[in-house]
Amino acid sequence: MMNEGLHMNQALPLFVAIPLGAAFLIPILVRVWRRLPDIVGNLSTLSLLVMSLTLVGKGPSTYYMGGWRPPLGINLVADGLSVLLLVVVSLVAFCATLFSIPYMERYTSKSRYYSLFMLMVAGMNGVVLTGDMFNLYVFLEIASIASYALVAFGTEAEELEASFKYMIMGCVASTFVLFGVGVLYGKTGTLNMAHLAKIIDENGMSPAIWFAAALFLMGFGLKAAMVPFHAWLPDAHPSAPAPISAMLSGVLIKSLGIYSLARVSYIVFGMSKPISTIFMVLGGLSMIVGVLLAVGQWDMKRLFAYHSISQMGYVMLGLGLGTPLGILGGVFHLLNHSAFKSCLFLCSGAIEHEVGTRELKKMGGLWRRMPVTSTSCVISSLSISGVPPFNGFWSKLIIIVAAIQARHYVAATIAVVVAFLTLTSFTKVMRYAIFGSPAAESQKVKEAPALMGVALILLALCCTSFGLLYPVLKPLLLGPATDVLLRAGDYISLVLGG
Amino acid sequence: MKGMSLIVRTIARVVTTFIILYSAYIVVYGHITPGGGFPGGVILALGIMLLMLAFGKDLPLRKLPEGRASVLDCLGALGFWAIALLGFTAGYFFLNFLGKGEPFRLVSAGTMPLSNIFIGIKVGVSLFAVLTALSVYRRFYPPGEEPPEED
Amino acid sequence: MIPYLFATAMLLIGLYAIVARRNLIKIVIGVAITEYAVNLFLILLGYRAGGIPPILSKGMDLNKFAANSVDPLPQALTVTSIVIGLGVIALLVALVLRLYEKYGTLDESEIKRLKG
């Protein structure tokens, strides 16, 4: 046997199978008892969280679908980067479903909501795990179509408009990705990522392969809302229900955008100078444009959405630097961003649920009325602005140090300036929403329901602890993820056993 | 819309039987001839659409109400999912665990015909649901105006 | 080379429809054109002059079949992407119907309640 030393993990397909099964069981179970969608949805995300945590620190493992070996069959690969993304997706998904129990009461048809939510989780887990290019496209489309529908879930005029815009952009992005997959297949005759990487490594980059790389950059860049392709994000993310905004900003743009882009450009094409320059330019642009557009916003969720663009810029910059420290910082910031951005969006949902507005000017003095929500909102705001000792500070610090080490002084300056502007912008949020004098609307508000509070506290704890737990996280999660991107050859020998 | 003339209705009634039979053939023989679950399901849904055109929009919804369609749709998907999971019993997810039989016979190719049947149900019912949702519940009139009277 | 140029040209036509047209239905048609451009490209990838369909029937010689049939994998990919495209177009059309219900127009330039 050629794959003697390889660790086969029978549990890998369950990461896709559990949410997929839940998605189709929920519409049937809701006829039995109205509460069953809540229970099934939360149980499946909880089991995903537990399963993903068991993968941590085990080393890479793989699985052959139907027993067909690569390059013939589709294989699933859980290496360091995939495990990190699986943990992030499951963590945010669990908090979002917990939050949904009270929050989604005011929408009709909760079972459809859970069904779409589970489809989205299944798609994201599939994207993260798969080792096959076309399979990546299929899972990408499953996650995207579910998210288009979820953005329009409220079926108000603005939500429909945002969803339509998002959907057109998303369809164009998916078409580019499929075109790229086709070009790769036409030139190499294989769809398996490791096999592709081997062939491209041996033959070098031909013009057609560069064409495919450009198509992937446009496609995944659109999904990640990098700056020239960012127009849909500030409309789509605020329009969705709050738990979905948390999922979209917290994990969807990462797994469909940044992860796929990093996987394809580092592993399949092999990182080269032009690609890393493009990464850094896109990252820098996103950081500046995102934060400048965010400063003038008064709609809470819209402000958060613009900050997602700018924070994703940090991740891209870190990955584009290509040095071990830079990649480590990028991966760490990806983990941190999912914690504090989903916490912020859930806070905005809790505030909207109680106060009934998203306008910062109409809030104020929530500190006394909603202590749990306010505390978690302040913690996550401080995290995103990079105040020590919260987690955002450490990852931003690593990225800036890495940029200076790599002699990219312009990039380092941009990172520092954007961190400062982010702090300014979030001072405004805290000043108007949490502290300050109570506005007329927030005189009689109560604390959000208990389950919402639990989800918020869970994420706020992550924001506080990730920075301090860095010595624990690095060998378990971040180091393996960095190694995957640094040593592309390992992936080839892991999958093909060569 | 109340449907079309007597001639259309009579022909549609006869033809639909054959269309549904043909869709069943496409689904069941999917593993040995061109076809399979998806094309068969599409043909099934279009056969029902013909009935809807001929007899008016209410008829298919009387035969298959929205709720029942949703359950059938999910059952089709769950059946396929269960076949994939049953592969675990023989060692691999999605493993074709049944006997392969002799090629070119109707009962052959292990789980493939079963998967085709479930996909056929899933596609047929969900396409039916999509088309009815787009036509029966259609709201293609400006806000504030009542739906136009139909004759 | 020809499939690449052909598919790129068709993709650009679809993109033109998405970018330059104002009517929502025409934008949806543009999306459909880009999808079919890629589907056509995938099919052309597997094309072989004088090839036979990749369906084995009774009494056919296996080696001869393998030497003459066109590549079946792109066809499988195309079927999958057609199915996905069907779902996408259905959802888009449903959204357009709902948008028309809310705004009373199909003109994109009048559907501008979001700040952009």
Residue A365 is which amino acid? G
Residues of chain A neighbouring B77 (CB-CB closer than 8 A): 24
Instruction: Express each pLDDT in A382-427 by its tens digit.
Output: 999 988 888 889 999 999 999 999 988 999 999 999 999 999 999 9
Q: Closest to B94 (Cβ–Cβ): which among A21, A25, A65?
A: A65
Note the pLDDT of residue A10.
80
How many CB atoms are located within 10 Å of the residue A278 CB? 18
Are residues B48 and B60 in contact, defined by beta-carbon separation less than 8 angstroms? yes
Q: Is the pLDDT of residue C1 over 80?
A: no
Q: What is the DSSP letter of A132?
A: B
Note the pLDDT of residue A91.
94
Residue C61 lies in a domain: yes
What is the nearest CA distance from B78 to chain A, expressed in angstroms?
Answer: 6
Q: pLDDT under 70 in chain A at which residues?
A: 1-6, 440-443, 498
Beta-bridged to residue A359, according to DSSP, are A299
Q: What is the DSSP string of A207-254?
A: HHHHHHHHHHHHHHHHHHT-GGG-TTHHHHHHHS-HHHHHHIIIIIII
Q: Give every CB contact of residue B103 below 8 A, 6+ residues apart in sequence.
A: B32, B109, C56
Interface test with chain B among C60, C79, C93, C101, by most B beta carbons within 10 Å:
C101
Chain C touched by A159 (CB under 8 Å): no
Interface test with chain C among B31, B32, B125, B136, by most C beta carbons within 10 Å:
B32
Interface contact flag, C87 A182, Cβ < 8 Å? no
Are residues A237 and A305 in contact, defined by beta-carbon separation less than 8 angstroms? yes
Residues of chain A neighbouring C92 (CB-CB closer than 8 A): 164, 167-168, 171
Chain C touched by A158 (CB under 8 Å): yes
Interface contact flag, C80 A138, Cβ < 8 Å? yes
What's the whole-number mean pLDDT along residues B123-144?
Answer: 74
Chain B touched by A43 (CB under 8 Å): no
Note the pLDDT of residue C76.
87
What are the extents of the domains in chain A?
Answer: 14-496
Note the pLDDT of residue A489.
81
Residues of chain C neighbouring B46 (CB-CB closer than 8 A): none
Residues of chain A neighbouring B93 (CB-CB closer than 8 A): 13, 17, 63, 65-66
Note the pLDDT of residue A2.
42
What is the nearest CA distance from C60 to chain B, expressed in angstroms?
Answer: 12
Note the pLDDT of residue A282.
92
Nearest-5° Cα angle at A189, A183 to A194: 95
* CA dist., res. C94 & res. B101, Å (int): 45
3-state secondary structure of A109: coil
Torsion angle, alpha carbons of B121, B125, B131, B136, to 10? 160
Chain A touched by B108 (CB under 8 Å): no
Query: Hunting for tokens 């520092």 — which residue is that?
Result: A416
Interface contact flag, C58 B38, Cβ < 8 Å? no
Please give the residue of chain B at the shortest CA–CA distance from C86.
B127
| Total count of domains within chain C | 1
Residues of chain B neighbouring C98 (CB-CB closer than 8 A): 139
Are residues A122 and A211 in contact, defined by beta-carbon separation less than 8 angstroms? no
Chain C touched by A472 (CB under 8 Å): no
- Dig out the tokens for A249 from the structure: 């900003």
Residue C67 lies in a domain: yes
Note the pLDDT of residue B150.
46
Q: What is the DSSP string of C23-91?
A: BHHHHHHHHHHHHHHHHHHHHHHT--TT-B-S---TT--HHHHHHHBPPHHHHHHHHHHHHHHHHHHHH
Interface test with chain C among A161, A163, A230, A358, by most C beta carbons within 10 Å:
A161
Q: In degrees rounded to 5, what are phi and psi of residue A34? A: -60, -25
- Dig out the tokens for B3 from the structure: 């449907």
Residue C116 lies in a domain: no
Buried b (16+ CB within 10 A) or exposed e, A394-418: bbbbbbbebbeebebeebbebbeeb
* CA dist., res. A6 & res. A12, Å (int): 14
Residues for chain B: how many in total? 151
Domain of C103: which CATH number?
A: 1.10.287.3510
Interface contact flag, A67 B92, Cβ < 8 Å? yes
Interface contact flag, B74 A21, Cβ < 8 Å? no
What's the whole-number mean pLDDT along residues C84-93?
Answer: 92
Residues of chain A neighbouring B98 (CB-CB closer than 8 A): none
Q: Closest to A66 (Cβ–Cβ): which among B77, B81, B96?
A: B96
Interface contact flag, A179 C41, Cβ < 8 Å? yes
Interface contact flag, A175 C42, Cβ < 8 Å? no
* CA dist., res. A424 & res. A405, Å (int): 27
Note the pLDDT of residue B151.
40
Q: Give every CB contact of residue A189 below 8 A, 6+ residues apart in sequence.
A: none
Note the pLDDT of residue A4.
43
3-state secondary structure of C107: strand
* CA dist., res. C18 & res. A434, Å (int): 43
Query: Hunting for tokens 């399949």 — which residue is that?
Result: A268
Interface test with chain B among A12, A18, A28, A68, by most B beta carbons within 10 Å:
A28
Interface contact flag, A164 C87, Cβ < 8 Å? no
Residue C42 lies in a domain: yes
ipTM tops 0.85: yes
- Phi-psi region at A386: left, alpha or beta (left = phi > 0; alpha = psi -120 to 50): left
* CA dist., res. B142 & res. C103, Å (int): 7
SS3 content of chain A, % helix, strand, coil (to 5): 80, 5, 20
Q: Is the pLDDT of residue B2 over 70?
A: no
A127-141, A423-437, C26-40, C49-63: lowest mean pLDDT where?
C49-63
Beta-bridged to residue A130, according to DSSP, are A76
**Quick one: which of A218, A247, A311 has its CA closest to A103?**
A247
Which structural domain, as residue segments, surrounds residue C31?
Answer: 2-110
Residue A8 is which amino acid? M
All chains having 3 or more CB pairs closer than 8 angstroms to chain C: A, B
Nearest-5° Cα angle at A491, A254 to A271: 65
Nearest-5° Cα angle at A155, A150 to A159: 70
Note the pLDDT of residue B87.
80
Instruction: Please write down the HEC assignment for all residues of A6-67.
Output: CCECCCCCHHHHHHHHHHHHHHHHCCCCCCHHHHHHHHHHHHHHHHHHHHCCCCCEEEEHHH
Beta-bridged to residue B26, according to DSSP, are none
Instruction: Express each pLDDT in B61-120 by its tens digit.
Output: 777 777 788 888 889 899 888 888 888 777 777 777 777 777 777 677 777 888 888 999
